[in-house]
Chain A
Amino acid sequence: MFSHLTHLLRTLRHHPAYSALNVLGLALALACSLLLYWLVRFHESFDTYHPQSARIYRLVTDVAGGSRGYHPGIPTPVGPALRHDFPGLGTVAMSIGQEDQLVQVLGPGRQPGTKYAEPYAIAFVEPEYFAVFTSYRWLVGSAAQTLRQPFSVVLTQRLARQYFGGANPLGRRLRLNNQIDLTVTGLLADIPDNTDQRYGFFISYPTLLHYGHSGTPLTLWEGVSSQTHGWVRLAPGRTPAQLEHALLALHQRHHPTSLPTYRYRVLPLLEQHFAMDYDGTIARSTLLILSCIGGLLLLTAGVNFVNLATAQALGRGREIGVRRTVGATSRGIFWQFLAETLLLVLLAAGTGLVLAYAALPGLREWTNTPIPHWLDGRAWLFLAGLVLFLTLGAGWYPGRVLAGFRPAQVLKGQTPGQAGGLWVRRGLVVAQLALSQSFTLGVLVMYQQLSVWLDTNPGFATSGRVVVPTPWLAGAAQARLRAELAQVPGVAGVTFGFDSPAVGTTNTSYFSYDRRALNEKFDVTRLAIDDHYLAVFGLQLVAGQPLTADSKPSSFLLNETAARMLGVGPPAAVIGHELGLNSRSNDVAYGPIVGVVRDWRLQGLQKEPLPMVLFHNPGEYRSITVQLAPSATLPLAVRTTWERYFPRYLFAPLRLDERVASFYEREQTQLAIVRLAALTAIAIGCLGLYGLVAFITQRRAREIGIRKVMGARPWQIMASFVGEFAGLLAVAFVVAAPLTSWLMQRWLDQFATHISLRPLLFGVALAATATLTLLTIGYRTLRAALVPPARALRAK
C-alpha cells in the first residue's frame, strides 16, 4: 500500500491537471450525492422517532362525488365517538391545529407585553395525544395533570424561552388572539425537526368551548376542517383493517346521512409525509427521482474517471512495460491500478465531504428544509459503499486495459490496443453527454412550467392587492373602517372576506340544492365575502347577478365547478334555485342562488378548481384586502387606521402576488435541486470532455503534424475534432431526448394545468449542450491545430 501511495503522489505531481480533473469530478458527484442522501434520509425519517410509530394511524376523510376526493381532516366528533364505542381498539386523540394566531405575553397583573405571530405552532389537543405520541418528554407536569382544565397551555422549551426568556414559565399567562388568557401548566422538551406535527403550543381541549377557533365545531358531523386531525394508536394485536371496520360501524351508528358522501379512512403515520392526497409534504416518487439523480451523478463521475484513466493509461505504456519486464504480473498491474483508484476516490471523498458541508446551508435555504448533516454509522456506511462502488466501477476497466498491455509491444513504442478502447470511450462520452442533455432539458421544462404558472392569471387579480388578516368586527364598525380606508389616497378599493381568493385553510360544508336531497353528494368550499369582493379581485360573473347590499340575506353565488357538478345544465340553469348551506353552528341557511362566478385557481394552477359557494356573512370575515392604485405602495395611513381599530393586534399585511407565488414553492424547490444536479452533471461532463480532448490531442499530435505536412489547414484539423464530438453529441441526443421527454411528461401530468413539450425546448437543450461542448473542446483543439508541424512531428 505504501508503494502505491508514493506512486500515487508521484502521479499527482506529474499530472496535476489530470489528477485535479479526476478528483474534482468525483468530489462534486460525491458531494451532491451526500447532500441528496441527507435530504432523502431526512424525509424518510419523518415521525419515525415516535416509539412504535408503525402502530400509529391518522384518520382522514374520503369525499365521494366531489372533484376533490380526499380530505386531510376528519369530522371532530369521530375521535370521541371511536374512543367511547371501541375502548379496546387503542388510544384515540384529537388535535385541532390553529394557523396564524397572535400570542401576547402577559406580565404580572395581566400587563400586556410582546406580541408574537405563530404561523403553525398552536394546537388544541386532548390529553390522550401524548399517549398516542409517547416521544414527548415532559420536563414539568404531565398530560393528565395539565390538559384536563380549560385555559391551560403546555409549551416546548423553545417557545417558553421565546416568550419568557430564562424566567420560569410555569404559572405565567399568554393571551391568544386577544380573546382568551391561557396559563402555562407544563413544559416539554423540544421536538425534533423531522415531524409533521410541528406543534409546540398545546392548549387543553376544553378551552375550545371558549374560543372562536378555525376548526369545525365539536359536534359537527357534516363538515371537515383540514387542521382537525384524529389519531389512533392501535392496541397490541389490533389491525388497521379492524380500525377501518370500527370507523364504518361508528359512522353508520352516529351519522348515517353522511354515509354516501364521507368515508373515514386510515392513514399510517409513517405514510402521511408522503401522502400527497392528504396534504403530505413530498411524494415518494419525488424521493425516488432525487435518489436516481444522485445515482446518475455518481455514474457520470465514474464514467468521467474511466474516460480520463483509459486515456491516460495509453501514456503509461512504457511504465507498464518496464514494470512487466522487471517482474510485475498482469494481475499485479491490475491491483496496482485499483489501489491507485481507491486512493484517488478516497481523496475525492474527503474533498466531497468538505464540499457537502459547505453547500448544506445553501441547500437548507433553497429547499426550506432543516436538513441535518448526519455523519453516523449509516452515513459512513453509505459513503464507504460509494467509495467501493466508484473504485470498482471506475477502476475496473482502465485496470484491465493496463493489465492487458503486452510488454514487448509497448516497449517498442507502439500504442497498444486502442481500437476497442476508442469505442468504449466514445460510448462513455455519449453517456455523459446524454446525461448533461437530460438534466438541461429537465431544468428547461421545469423552469418553463414555473414561469408559465407565475405569469398566468390564476383567475383573479393579484398585483397591487394587499391582504391584511383582520379580527372580527361588529357590522357598524366594519362599515366605518371600510369608509376610512377607502378615503386613504392611493387606495383604489377595499373588501372584507373570509380570505383572499388564494384560500389557505379551506373549510367545506354540506349543502342541499332545491331540497332534492337532504345533502348533495359533494361538499363545497365556503367563502364569506362582502359586495366589493368580486370587483376588488376582478372575479367575473358568467351568469346572474352579483351579491349587493340589497341582496336577500342568504343569497348565494356558486362557482362554475359547483354549478357544473350539480348536473342541471348550463351555469345559468341554477340561477333562482334554492340552496341550503350548513352553517358552522350546524343549522341550515336557505336562500336563492343569484349568480355563477367564473372558476379561479384558489391553490395554484397545479390543482383543479374546487366547488365553491360564496355568500355574505360578516361574522366569518377574517381579512381585509386593500386594492392599491396602479404603482402605489401601501400607504402608512392604512396601517395607522387599521391599528386604531385593532390596537391589540399585529398588522401583518401580505402581498397577494407573493402568496400566489408561494403556491409553487414545492416546484421551485424541485427546480432548485434539479438545477444543482444539472450544474454538477454538466460540470463533471465538461471536466471529462476537457480531460479527454486534452489527451486525444496530445496523443494525436503526431497525426495532426502529418496531416498538416500533407496540406491540412488548421480549421480542417479543428473540424475533424468538432465533427467527431458533434457526432457523439447527436447520438447522445437521440438517447436522451425520448427518455427525458417521457420522464418530464410524467412530471407534467401530475398538474391540472401544464405546458406541452414543444420541439423548441429540445432544440434549446441541444444548442446549449452543443455550445458548451464546443467551448470545452475548442481551446485544446485550436491549440493542437496551431502547433507548427515540425514540432508536432517531433512528438512521439
Chain B
Amino acid sequence: MLELLNVQKVYRPSGWLAGGVETPALQDVSLQVAAGDFVAIMGPSGCGKSTLLNVLGLLDTVDGGRYLFEGTDVTRFSERQRDLFRQPRIGFVFQEFNLIDELTVYQNVELPLTYARVPAAERRQRVEAVLERLQLRHREQHRPGQLSGGQQQRAAIARAVVSEPRLLLADEPTGNLDSANGEAVMRLLTDLNEAGMTVVMVTHSEPDALYAHRTVRLHDGQVLLTTH
C-alpha cells in the first residue's frame, strides 16, 4: 500500500542566523507497508520518527527518493494536490490529541466530514455511529477541556476514523495517557486494524509496540531493523 524508496529529508533552519547548517532527518529510508498492516515505528527522541510519520501522512515533503501511495507516485505533489489526496485516505491521531478547544466533541468529530462536504444528514449519521462505537455518545456536547485524557484520545480517534480512511497514522497515541487508558486506546487501534484499516504508529513504549504486526526501528534517520 505504501512504499518509500531511499527517502531523504533534510531540515534547513530558516532565518539569516542559521547560516545553512543542515540537519538530516531521514537518510535513505526505504519502507513498505501492505494494506491491513499494523506497523510500529520506534527509536530514541530526535531519530526522525515523527518526520517519517509526517512524510507518510503527506503533511511534509521529501528531499530525495520516492513515495508511492497505493501505486500513485505522490513524491512531487503540490501542497494542494497533497491536501486533496490526503483528506479521504488518511486519518491522524496525535499524542496531544489536538482537539479544538472551542468546539464540542461532536463538532470536532464532524470536522473532517464538513471539509469533505458530506451532506448534513449523512454527517449526523456517521458521527453518531462512530461516537457510539467509541462510547462517547454521552459526552458529545462536552468540550475537550471537560473530558479525561482517555476520553479525549477516544474523541481524537473518532475524528480520525469518521471519514473511514484506509490509513491511520498515530503519533504516540498513548504518550499522554495512564496505562489503563493507554491499553484501551491500543485495543481500539487493534480493533480498527482487524476491521481492515492499515495502521502506522510511532511509539516509545515497547508494550504498545507488541500490538503491532512488526516494528521498524529508526536511529539517526536510518532504518536499523525491522522485526516481525
How close is A405's CB to chain B, nearest CB, in angstroms?
16
Contact with B along A54-78 (1 / 0, CB 8 A): 0000000000000000000000000
Do the beta carbons of A716 and B101 come within 8 Å of each other? Answer: no
B59, A709: Cβ atoms closer than 8 Å: yes
Q: Are A710 and B159 in contact (CB under 8 A)?
A: yes
Majority DSSP secondary structure for residues of A touching B: helix
Q: Which of A30-38, A328-336, A471-479, A786-794 contacts the other chain?
A: A786-794
Q: When the two chains form their complex, are residues B98 and A706 in contact, meaning their CB atoms are under 8 A apart?
A: yes
Answer yes or no: B79 CB below 8 A from chain A CBs: yes
Which of B83, B100, B101 meets A711, CB within 8 Å? B83
Contact B100–A703 (Cβ < 8 Å): yes
Does A707 lie within 8 Å of B59, measured CB to CB?
Answer: no
Residue in B closest to A413 when the chains form the complex, CB atoms: B96
Mask, A682-719, CB within 8 Å of B = 1, is: 00000000000000000000110111111111001000
**Shortest Cβ gap from B81 to chain A (Å):** 12
Interface string of A412-453 (1 = CB under 8 A from B): 001100000000000000000000000000000000000000
The stretch of B32-40, B109-117, B194-202, B219-227 in contact with A is B109-117
Does B111 lie within 8 Å of A707, measured CB to CB?
yes
Contacts of A702 in B (CB 8 A): 98
CA separation between A790 and B92, bound complex, in Å? 12
Count B-side interface residues using an 8 Å CB cutoff: 23
**Contact: B86 with A711, CB < 8 Å?**
yes
Contacts of B163 on A, CB cut-off 8 Å?
711
CB pair B101–A415 under 8 Å, yes or no, is yes
* CA gap between A706 and B59 in the complex, in Å: 11
B83 CB contact (under 8 Å) in A706, A708, A790, A793? A708
- Contact mask for chain B residues 70-100; partner A; CB cutoff 8 A; 1 contact, 0 none: 0000000001100100110000101000111
CB-CB under 8 A for A709 and B60, given A702-B98, A790-B54: no
Contacts of B111 in A (CB 8 A): 707, 710
Per-position 1/0 for B142-161, Cβ under 8 A of A: 00010000000000000100
B83:A713 contact, CB within 8 angstroms: yes
Determine how close the nearest CB of chain A comes to the CB of B167; give it in whole angstroms: 13
Instruction: Note all chain B residues with C-beta closer than 8 A to A713.
Output: 80, 83, 115
Give complex CA distance A789, B80 in Å: 12
Q: Which residue on chain B has the smallest CB distance to residue A707?
A: B111
* Cα–Cα, bound, A707→B112 (Å): 8
The residue of chain A having its C-beta at the shortest distance from the C-beta of B14 within the complex is A791
List the B residue with the shortest CB-CB distance to A716.
Answer: B115
Residues of A within 8 A of B94 (CB): 793
Chain B residues near A709 (CB-CB < 8 A): 57, 59, 86, 92, 98
Q: In the complex the two chains form, what is the Cα distance from A792 to B212 in whole Å?
A: 29
Min distance, Cβ B165 to any Cβ of chain A, angstroms: 11
Is B87 in contact with A711, judged by CB distance below 8 angstroms?
Answer: yes
Out of A415, A716, A790, name the residue touching B59 (CB < 8 Å). A790
Is B83's CB under 8 angstroms from A788's CB?
no
When the two chains form their complex, are residues B100 and A788 in contact, meaning their CB atoms are under 8 A apart?
A: no
Whether A707 touches B79, Cβ cut-off 8 Å, given contacts A788-B59, A793-B94, is no
By a beta-carbon cutoff of 8 Å, the part of chain A in contact with chain B is 414-415, 702-703, 705-713, 716, 788-790, 793
Contacts A708-B83, A711-B163, A712-B115 supplied; 11 other A-B pairs, CB < 8 Å? A702-B98, A703-B101, A703-B102, A706-B98, A707-B100, A709-B57, A709-B92, A710-B159, A711-B87, A711-B112, A788-B60
- Identify the B interface with A (CB < 8 A): 54, 57, 59-60, 79-80, 83, 86-87, 92, 94, 98-102, 111-112, 115-116, 145, 159, 163
Q: List 22 A-B contacts (CB under 8 A).
A: A702-B98, A703-B100, A703-B102, A706-B99, A706-B100, A707-B111, A707-B115, A709-B57, A709-B86, A709-B92, A710-B112, A710-B159, A711-B83, A711-B86, A711-B87, A713-B83, A788-B60, A788-B79, A790-B54, A790-B60, A793-B59, A793-B94
